[in-house]
């Protein structure tokens, strides 16, 4: 007896339904993208391609933003502008005094290093921030200086000439990517407080850190935390938490400046 099959039975048995096809396509796409992310050569090519078009776009976006701010400033109330102007002048005067003090110290350090036969060991390259942590879910900065300016992977990045912020992790011809020390999961050797207690600081994101020091260490809110590498300021202690059942003290500290207000960074280029 001849057996015949209906065409739609065939389709049901051997042809995937539309939702199944879509899940299949999604899985293939996902695997392809994973490969592109983790195969260094492929990722490098795609990154370099994206970083050819990205910096001009970011620069254009920043220019549009500045134009908007200028226009908005024109239509803001005169009284608001006067008040803001006075506040900024006062802050500027205060900063000028602090900078004088710091410049005097820097000159003294340079003189001492020369006397000891150890001239200044770093060159500093100033970079403008193209994109920062608030722009992406990652703790990274993109700056407008790269290999053409002498930047290399693992160069330390500082803000305001003193506070260290992170390291260069990717370099392109005219831009580079800075990974912050406060990135979640990052660990760095630090010295805490006036007695320079050694410890390991763990990043918690957006300029925040936590470090555990042994019970009995003298640490208080307002103490400085210094990165062992380079002896640069990493942050200021905000909260010290002591629990009677634990043998350690939890110290929470953060960068002494607001990451959202960082518009330029300095890269310490190795000579």
Q: Which residues bind another protein (CB under 8 A)?
A: 19, 22-23, 25-26, 29-30, 33-34, 36-38, 43, 46-47, 50-51, 54, 57-58, 61, 131, 134-138, 140, 142, 169-170, 177, 179, 183-186
Question: How many secondary structure helices (H) and strands (E) does the chain include?
Answer: 4, 12
Smallest gap from residue 211 Cβ to another protein (A): 17
- Residue 211, judged by CB atoms within 10 A of its CB (0-12, 13-18, 19+), counts as buried
Q: CB nearer to another protein: give 15 or 99.
A: 15
Give kind and range of the element (H or E) at residue 103: helix 78-115
**Shortest reach from residue 61's CB to another protein, in Å:** 5
State which residue, 141 or 159, has the beta carbon closest to another protein. 141
Min dist. Cβ of residue 50 to another protein (A): 6
* Cα distances (Å, whole numbers) of residue 144 to 89, 94, 141, 172: 29, 30, 10, 10
Q: Give the three-state DSSP class for 27.
A: helix
Question: Whose Cβ is closer to another protein: residue 43's or residue 270's?
Answer: 43
Shortest distance (Å) from residue 270 CB to another protein: 20
Q: Give whichever of 140 and 208 is closer to another protein, judged by the CB atom.
A: 140
Q: What are phi and psi of 8, to 5 degrees?
A: -70, -25
Rounded to whole angstroms, the Cα distance separating 246 from 250 reads 10
By C-beta, is 47 or 217 nearer to another protein? 47
Residues across the chain: 271
**Smallest distance, Å, CB 179 to another protein?**
5
């Amino acid at each position: 007896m001849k057996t015949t099959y209906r065409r739609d039975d065939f389709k049901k048995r051997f042809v995937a339904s539309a939702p199944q096809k879509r899940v299949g396509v999604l899985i293939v796409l996902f695997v392809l993208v994973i490969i592109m992310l983790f195969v260094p050569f492929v990722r490098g090519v795609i990154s370099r391609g994206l970083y050819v078009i990205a910096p001009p776009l970011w620069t254009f976006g920043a220019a549009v933003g500045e134009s908007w701010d200028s226009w908005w400033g024109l239509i803001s109330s005169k009284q608001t502008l006067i008040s803001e102007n006075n506040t900024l002048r006062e802050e500027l005067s205060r900063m000028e005094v602090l900078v004088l003090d710091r410049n005097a110290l820097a000159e003294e350090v340079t003189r001492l290093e020369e006397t000891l036969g150890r001239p200044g060991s770093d060159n500093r390259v100033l970079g403008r921030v193209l994109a920062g942590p608030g722009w992406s879910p990652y703790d990274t900065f993109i700056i407008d200086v790269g290999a053409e300016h002498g930047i290399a992977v693992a160069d330390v990045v500082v803000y305001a000439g003193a506070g260290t912020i992170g390291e260069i992790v990717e370099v392109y011809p005219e831009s580079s990517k800075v990974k912050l020390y406060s990135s979640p999961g990052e660990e760095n050797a630090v010295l805490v407080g006036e007695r320079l207690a050694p410890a390991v600081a763990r990043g918690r994101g957006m300029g925040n850190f936590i470090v555990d020091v042994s019970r009995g260490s003298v640490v208080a809110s307002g103490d400085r935390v210094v990165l062992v590498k380079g002896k640069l300021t990493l942050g200021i202690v905000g909260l010290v938490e002591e629990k009677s059942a634990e043998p350690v003290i939890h110290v929470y500290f953060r960068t002494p400046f607001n990451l959202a207000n960082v518009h330029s960074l300095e890269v310490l280029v190795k000579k």
